[in-house]
C-alpha cells in the first residue's frame, strides 16, 4: 500500500467550529441571520470565514519575503482569467470537507453555495487562463511573486444566443462586491499621460523633463492567491484607474455638474472594460493607455517596495527583481523602466539598459501576424512623448551597434529588425521591442518555440543564439482535477498518494492499472456519473435532451478560424447526411458539444456560431436519425462551465491548422481528465501524444511541412470542394434553406469563405478528419481498449502540470528559488 501522504494539512478545525465562524460572519459581516439569509449571503459569509485563514497567509508570506530579501518575480499580464476562487481556496487550504460538513449541518449544499460566486473573467482565453494557473503554481512553489494586471470593472462579455446568433452583454462580476479583494489605497500611484518633453541643460548635463498633460491615479486591489497546502499566499495586484482630483468643485459650484464629472469619467474609463479581442490587435488609443497605465503603476510599485527594503541605492534592483511580460501587451514597461532609471534616478543610459535587460523576459503566445502588436509612432508620441524618444534611442543604439557589428552595411536586415516599421505610417513593433529589451524570450510549446526561432525572429536568433527558449505550458492540477473532478480524484487516491496534486508524476502509479478490469470499470463509472451530471446542465442551458450513453465530443475554446470549429461542423453535417441516406448507418450515438465566444467584431467567427446553432437545431429535432447525433452549443462558455464539462468529456477536439495553435491548454485539461484527443500535430498536442503514447491519441491531417508545401504549390480550395462528393454536398447544403427554413442563404457566407479562400485549410484536412472520427467510433465501441487509453492519458499527463512550467521559468529564465513562508 502506498503511504497516504497529504500536502494540504487540514487546519486543526472542526466542522462545528467552522460552522460557528460562518454563522458569526453571516450575522456580523453580512448583517443578516440564518432564517432570512439568501444563498448569496451564505456564500459571502463562507468567504469571510475562509478569509480568516487567507489573510493571515498573506501577512505571513509578506513578512517572510521581506525578511529574506529574495529575488522576486513580477508577472505582468493584461489578463488573468481566474474563474471562481472559493472552491480552489478551500481545496488549497485543506478546508473543503470541513466546509462541506459545516454547511450541511446548516441545511445547505456546498455546490449550491459555490454556484453563487460570479466568475472573475478578467481575460479572454488561453493567455489569461495560463496567467491564472501560473500564479497558482508560483504560490504553491513558494516563489516570491506578484501578478500585476488591471482591475476591470467589466470582464469578458456575457454571451447569449438570440435566434442562434451571438449577442454580447456586459459582464457584472463586481455588481455585488467581491469578498476576496482588499483595496490598498496606501499603495496608490500617480500615472502621467500626454504633454511634452523639455530638454534641460544643467551643470554640463543634458536631461529630459516630461511635463504631463494629465495625471491619473492607480489604486491597487489585492487578491490573495493561496498556494496548495495554504502555507504560502501570494497576491494578484490589480490596478483601478481613478481621476487624480475626484471632481472640480469650482466647476461644480458654478453649475457645470456634468462637466465637473467628465474628467473622472474619462479617467475611470481606463479600467472600465477588458478588450474582448482574442489574438487580434485592438489598435485603440484606450488600449495603449491601459497597457501603459498598469505597466507604469506596477514598475512604480516594484520600485517602492525595493526602496522600502533596500534604501535608495538601486544597484541590486535587477538582481532582486524579475519581470515577465505575458505577451507584448506590457512591452511599454521596457521604455518605462528606462525612463525611471535615466530621468528620475539619474543612471547613465548604458547602465540603465543593462539593468533593464537583466530584468525583463518575454513570452510569445502566437505566431498569427495580426496579433503582433504595432502602435502608430504618432500615437505613442502623443500619449507618451518621453517613451517615444526612449524607444527611438533604444532602436538607434541597437541598429548602429549590435546589428551593424553582426551584419555590417546590411540595410535589409536593419529594416527587418528595426523597432520602427517604415511605411505610409510609421509603426512601432512591440514584438521587436520586447525581444530587444529582454534577456530571454520563450514560446509555449516545443513546436511553437521552434517556429518562433525559425519563422518569426530568425535574425534575432542568429544575433543572440541563447535568447530563445521553450517553456511548454501547463495547467494547475488543483483546479483542473482535484477541485473540478472530485470523483476521479477520490478514485485515484485509493491507489496513489494523496499528495498527487502537488507531485503530479505520482499519477504514473496508475499505469499498471490501465489493463485492470476492475479499475477500468471504476474509471469509466466515474466518467459516466460525471456525464449524467452534465446531461442536466445541458438540459438547463439549451433545453436539449441528450443521453449519457452517447460519446461526449467536446470542442471548447475561443471561436477562431484557425481553431477550425467549422471543420468539426462539416464532419457533423457529413455524419448527419450519412444517417439520412442510410438510417442503419452504424455509429455509436454522439453528442457534439461546443463552447466558444467570438470577438464581437469578428464577423466570420460569428457566422460560424450561427451556422453551428442552426445545424444543431435541425439535427436535434430530426426524428429520422433516432438520436444518433445531437449538437449543443453551450452559451457563455467560461472557466466555471469548463470545470463542469471537462470531467464529463470523452473526446477532446484539438483540430487547429498545424503551426497555428501555439500550445493550447484545454487539450491538457481534457486529457488529464481522461478524454481522448482527436488532433492535429500542432502545439502541445504533439507533446501530449509523446507522453500518452501515440496509440492513445488520434492524430490526423497535414503537418507543418505539408501546410508549407501546399501553400508554396498554390492552394486552391475549390479543387477539394469539387473532388470530394461528400464535402461538396455538405458545403452546398449550407447554401439553401435546409437549415434555415424559408430563409435560404443565411449560412452561405460560411461556404463562400471556405470554397473561395479557406485561409486555414479546412478542406484539405476534411477527409483525414472524417477517418480519424471513424477510429474514435471504433475505439469507443471496444470498451476495454477505450478505458485503457483514457486511463493512460490521465496517468501520463504529469508533464503538463503548471508547477513544472513554473519550475522551468524559475530555473532557466528568472533564476529564483522558492522561500517557504513561516509563521
Ligand atoms: C494563446 C494561444 O493561442 C494558445 O495556443 C496558448 O495555449 C495560450 O495562448 C497560452 O500560451 N494566445 C492567446 O490567448 N492570446 C494571444 C494574444 O496570443
Residue 246: pLDDT band by 50, 70, 90 thresholds?
Answer: low
Please report where in the chains the cell 487550504 appears, as a residue.
93
Report how far apart, in Å, the C-alpha atoms of 345 and of each of 216, 296, 600 are.
22, 15, 44
Which of the residues 558, 566, 630, 773 is marked catalytic? 558
Residue closest to 535 by CA, chosen among 416, 427, 602, 632:
632
Ligand 1 atom nearest 683 alpha carbon: 5
Asked whether residue 35 carries a pLDDT value surpassing 60, the answer given is: yes
327 lines ligand 1 (CB under 6 A): yes
- For cell 529574495, the residue is 70
Q: Is the pLDDT of residue 202 over 80?
A: yes
What lies within 8 Å, CB to CB, of 81 at 6+ separation is: 120, 121, 122, 123, 124, 125, 128, 129, 131, 132, 156, 639
For a mutational test of ligand 1's pocket, the pick from 75, 121, 123, 126, i.e. the residue with the most ligand atoms closer than 8 A to its C-beta, is: 126
Choosing from 123, 132, 275, 279 the residue with most ligand 1 atoms within 8 A of its CB, the one to mutate for a pocket test is 279
Q: For a substitution probing ligand 1, which of 122, 123, 127 has the most ligand atoms within 8 Å of its CB?
A: 127
pLDDT value of residue 249: 62
Tell me, what's the pLDDT at 203?
84
**Residue of higher predicted confidence among 665 and 281:** 665
444 lines ligand 1 (CB under 6 A): yes
348/785 Cα distance (integer angstroms): 67
Q: Is any ligand 1 atom within 6 A of the Cβ of residue 666?
A: no
Q: Cα of 237 to ligand 1 centre, how many Å?
A: 22
CA of 263 relative to ligand 1 center, distance in Å: 35
Task: Estimate the crossing angle of helix 39-68 against helix 96-105, to 10 degrees.
Answer: 150
Looking at the predicted structure, is the pLDDT value of residue 254 above 90? no
The catalytic position among 453, 563, 590, 606 is 563
Q: Whose CA is nearest to atom 16 of ligand 1?
A: 279
> Which among 389, 413, 390, 387 has a CA at the least distance from the CA of 400?
413
**What nine digits make up the cell of 148?**
500585476
Q: What is the pLDDT of residue 12?
A: 78
Query: Does the pLDDT of residue 316 top 50, yes or no?
Result: yes
| Distance of CA 662 from the midpoint of ligand 1 (Å) | 6
Ligand 1 centroid to residue 199 C-alpha, Å: 42
What is the C-alpha to C-alpha distance for residues 601 and 596, in angstroms, rounded to an integer?
15
Which of 822 and 455 is assigned the larger pLDDT?
Answer: 455
Mutate to test the pocket of ligand 1, among 129, 132, 366, 471 (most ligand atoms within 8 A of CB): 366
Answer yes or no: 665 catalytic.
Answer: yes
Query: Does residue 558 have an active-site annotation?
Result: yes
Q: Give dist(CA 604, CA 7) in Å, integer.
A: 48
Q: Is 126 in the pocket of ligand 1 (CB under 6 A)?
A: yes
Q: Is the pLDDT of residue 2 over 70?
A: no
Give every CB contact of residue 544 below 8 A, 6+ residues apart in sequence: 538, 616, 620, 630, 632
**638 vs 81: CA distance, rounded Å:** 9
C-alpha of residue 598 to centroid of ligand 1, in Å? 15
User: Residue 48 has what pLDDT?
Assistant: 97
> What's the gap in Å between 367 CA and the centre of ligand 1?
10
Distance 753 CA to ligand 1 centre (A): 24
Give me 106's grid cell.
Answer: 446548516
pLDDT band, very low/low/confident/very high, at 422 (cuts 50, 70, 90) = very high
pLDDT of residue 370: 83
CA of 683 to the centre of ligand 1 (A): 10
* % of the chain beyond a pLDDT of 70: 96
Residue nearest to atom 13 of ligand 1 (CA): 127
Which of these is catalytic: 329, 453, 557, 566?
557
Distance 366 CA to ligand 1 centre (A): 6
Digit-coded pLDDT (tens) for 122-162? 999 999 999 999 999 999 999 999 999 999 999 999 999 99
- The lowest-confidence range among 252-261, 454-463, 598-607 is 252-261
What is the model's pLDDT at position 631?
A: 98
371 CA: nearest ligand 1 atom: 17
Closest atom of ligand 1 to CA, residue 278: 15
Instruction: Estimate the crossing angle of helix 762-781 against helix 725-733, to 10 degrees.
Output: 100
CATH 3.40.50.2000 in the chain is located at 71-84+119-369+439-473, 477-800
CB 813 within 8 A of CB 471: yes
- Average pLDDT for the chain: 95
| Cβ 662 under 6 angstroms from ligand 1 | yes
Q: Is 669 a catalytic site residue?
A: yes
Exactly one of 329, 387, 482, 669 is catalytic; which is it? Answer: 669
pLDDT at 248 over 80: no
**Ligand 1 pocket, 127 CB below 6 A?**
yes
φ, ψ (nearest 5 deg) of residue 442: -130, 150
563 is catalytic: yes
pLDDT of the residue at 583: 95
CB 364 near ligand 1, within 6 Å: no
Options 3.40.50.720, 3.40.50.2000, 3.40.50.300, 3.30.470.20; which CATH number does 477-800 get?
3.40.50.2000
Mean pLDDT of 220-224: 98
Residue whose C-alpha is closest to residue 629's, from 704, 676, 543, 569: 569
Output the residue whose Cα is nearest ligand 1's atom 7.
664
Q: In CATH, which of 3.40.50.2000, 3.10.105.10, 1.10.10.10, 1.20.1270.360 is domain 71-84+119-369+439-473?
A: 3.40.50.2000
pLDDT > 80? residue 50 = yes
Q: Could you tell me if the ipTM is greater than 0.90?
A: yes
Decide: 399 and 407 in contact? Cβ < 8 Å: no
- Please, which pLDDT band fits residue 1 given cuts at 50, 70 and 90? very low
State which H helix or E strand residue 531 sits in: helix 517-542
Q: Which candidate, 431, 459, 429, 428, places its Cα nearest to that of 443?
A: 431
Tell me which residue of 383, 369, 281 sits closest to 329, measured CA to CA. Answer: 281
Amino acid at each position: 500500500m502506498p503511504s497516504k501522504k497529504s500536502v494540504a494539512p487540514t487546519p486543526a478545525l472542526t466542522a462545528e467550529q467552522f460552522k460557528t465562524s460562518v454563522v458569526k460572519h453571516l450575522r456580523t459581516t453580512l448583517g443578516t441571520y440564518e432564517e432570512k439569509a439568501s444563498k448569496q449571503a451564505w456564500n459571502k459569509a463562507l468567504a469571510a470565514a475562509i478569509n480568516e485563514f487567507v489573510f493571515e497567509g498573506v501577512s505571513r508570506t509578506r513578512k517572510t519575503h521581506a525578511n529574506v530579501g529574495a529575488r522576486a518575480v513580477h508577472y505582468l499580464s493584461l489578463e488573468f482569467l481566474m474563474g471562481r476562487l472559493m472552491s480552489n481556496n478551500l481545496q488549497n487550504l485543506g478546508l473543503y470537507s470541513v466546509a462541506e460538513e459545516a454547511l450541511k449541518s446548516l441545511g445547505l449544499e456546498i455546490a449550491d453555495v459555490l454556484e453563487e460566486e460570479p466568475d472573475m473573467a478578467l481575460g479572454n482565453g488561453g493567455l489569461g487562463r495560463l496567467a491564472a494557473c501560473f500564479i497558482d503554481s508560483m504560490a504553491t512553489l513558494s516563489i516570491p511573486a506578484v501578478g500585476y494586471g488591471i482591475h476591470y470593472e467589466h470582464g469578458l462579455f456575457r454571451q447569449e444566443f438570440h435566434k442562434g446568433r451571438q449577442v454580447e452583454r456586459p459582464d457584472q462580476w463586481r455588481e455585488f462586491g467581491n469578498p476576496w479583494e482588499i483595496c490598498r489605497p496606501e499603495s496608490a500611484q500617480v500615472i502621467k499621460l500626454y504633454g511634452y518633453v523639455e530638454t534641460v541643460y544643467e551643470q554640463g548635463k543634458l536631461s529630459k523633463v516630461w511635463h504631463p498633460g494629465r495625471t491619473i491615479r492607480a489604486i491597487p486591489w489585492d487578491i490573495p492567491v493561496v498556494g496548495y497546502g495554504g502555507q504560502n499566499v501570494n497576491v494578484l495586484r490589480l490596478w483601478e484607474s481613478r481621476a487624480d482630483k475626484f471632481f472640480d468643485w469650482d466647476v461644480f459650484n458654478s453649475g457645470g455638474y456634468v462637466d465637473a464629472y467628465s474628467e473622472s469619467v474619462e479617467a475611470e474609463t481606463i479600467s472600465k472594460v477588458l478588450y474582448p479581442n482574442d489574438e487580434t490587435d485592438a489598435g485603440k488609443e484606450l488600449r495603449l493607455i491601459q497597457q501603459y497605465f498598469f505597466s507604469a503603476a506596477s514598475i512604480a510599485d516594484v520600485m517602492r517596495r525595493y526602496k522600502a527594503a533596500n534604501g535608495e541605492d538601486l544597484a541590486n534592483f535587477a538582481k532582486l527583481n524579475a519581470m515577465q511580460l505575458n505577451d507584448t501587451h506590457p512591452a511599454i514597461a521596457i521604455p518605462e523602466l528606462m525612463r525611471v532609471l535615466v530621468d528620475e534616478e539619474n543612471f547613465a543610459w548604458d547602465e540603465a539598459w543593462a539593468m533593464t535587460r537583466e530584468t525583463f523576459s518575454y513570452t510569445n503566445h502566437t505566431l498569427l501576424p495580426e496579433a503582433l502588436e504595432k502602435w502608430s509612432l504618432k500615437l505613442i508620441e502623443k500619449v507618451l512623448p518621453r517613451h517615444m524618444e526612449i524607444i527611438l534611442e533604444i532602436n538607434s543604439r541597437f541598429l548602429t551597434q549590435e546589428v551593424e557589428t553582426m551584419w555590417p552595411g546590411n540595410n535589409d536586415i536593419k529594416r527587418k529588425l528595426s523597432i520602427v516599421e517604415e511605411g505610409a505610417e510609421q509603426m512601432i513593433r512591440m514584438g521587436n521591442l520586447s525581444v530587444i529589451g529582454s534577456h530571454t524570450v520563450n514560446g509555449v510549446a516545443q513546436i511553437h518555440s521552434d517556429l518562433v526561432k525559425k519563422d518569426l525572429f530568425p535574425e534575432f536568433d542568429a544575433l543572440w543564439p541563447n535568447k530563445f527558449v521553450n517553456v511548454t505550458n501547463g495547467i494547475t492540477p488543483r483546479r483542473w482535477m482535484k477541485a473540478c473532478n472530485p470523483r476521479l480524484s477520490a478514485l485515484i487516491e485509493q491507489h496513489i498518494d494523496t499528495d498527487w496534486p502537488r507531485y503530479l508524476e505520482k499519477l504514473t502509479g496508475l499505469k499498471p492499472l490501465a489493463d485492470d478490469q476492475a479499475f477500468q470499470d471504476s474509471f469509466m463509472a466515474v466518467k459516466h456519473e460525471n456525464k449524467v451530471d452534465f446531461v442536466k446542465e445541458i438540459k438547463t442551458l439549451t433545453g436539449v435532451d441528450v443521453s449519457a450513453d452517447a460519446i461526449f465530443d467536446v470542442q471548447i475554446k475561443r471561436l477562431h478560424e484557425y481553431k477550425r470549429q467549422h471543420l468539426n461542423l462539416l464532419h457533423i453535417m457529413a455524419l448527419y447526411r450519412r444517417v439520412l441516406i442510410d438510417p442503419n448507418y452504424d455509429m455509436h450515438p454522439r453528442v457534439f458539444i461546443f463552447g466558444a465566444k467570438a470577438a464581437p467584431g469578428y464577423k466570420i467567427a460569428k457566422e460560424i456560431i450561427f451556422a453551428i446553432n442552426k445545424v444543431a437545431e435541425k439535427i436535434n429535432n430530426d426524428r429520422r436519425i433516432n438520436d444518433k447525433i445531437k449538437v449543443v452549443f453551450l452559451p457563455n462558455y467560461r472557466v466555471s462551465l469548463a470545470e463542469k464539462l471537462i470531467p464529463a468529456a470523452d473526446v477532446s477536439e484539438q483540430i487547429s491548422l498545424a503551426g497555428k495553435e501555439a500550445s493550447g491548454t484545454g487539450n491538457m485539461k481534457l486529457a488529464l481528465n481522461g478524454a481522448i484527443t482527436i488532433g492535429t500535430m500542432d502545439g502541445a498536442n504533439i507533446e501530449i501524444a509523446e507522453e500518452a503514447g501515440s496509440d492513445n491519441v488520434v492524430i490526423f491531417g497535414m503537418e507543418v511541412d505539408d501546410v508549407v508545401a501546399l501553400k508554396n504549390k498554390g492552394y486552391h480550395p475549390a479543387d477539394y470542394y469539387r473532388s470530394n462528393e461528400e464535402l461538396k454536398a455538405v458545403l452546398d447544403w449550407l447554401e439553401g434553406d435546409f437549415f434555415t427554413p424559408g430563409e435560404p442563404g443565411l449560412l452561405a457566407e460560411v461556404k463562400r469563405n471556405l470554397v473561395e479562400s479557406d485561409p486555414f485549410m479546412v478542406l484539405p484536412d476534411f477527409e483525414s478528419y472524417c477517418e480519424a472520427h471513424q477510429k474514435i467510433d471504433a475505439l469507443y465501441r471496444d470498451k476495454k481498449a477505450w478505458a485503457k487509453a483514457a486511463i493512460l492519458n490521465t496517468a501520463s499527463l504529469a508533464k503538463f502540470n503548471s508547477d513544472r512550467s513554473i519550475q522551468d521559468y524559475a530555473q532557466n529564465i528568472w533564476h529564483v528559488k522558492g522561500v517557504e513562508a513561516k509563521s
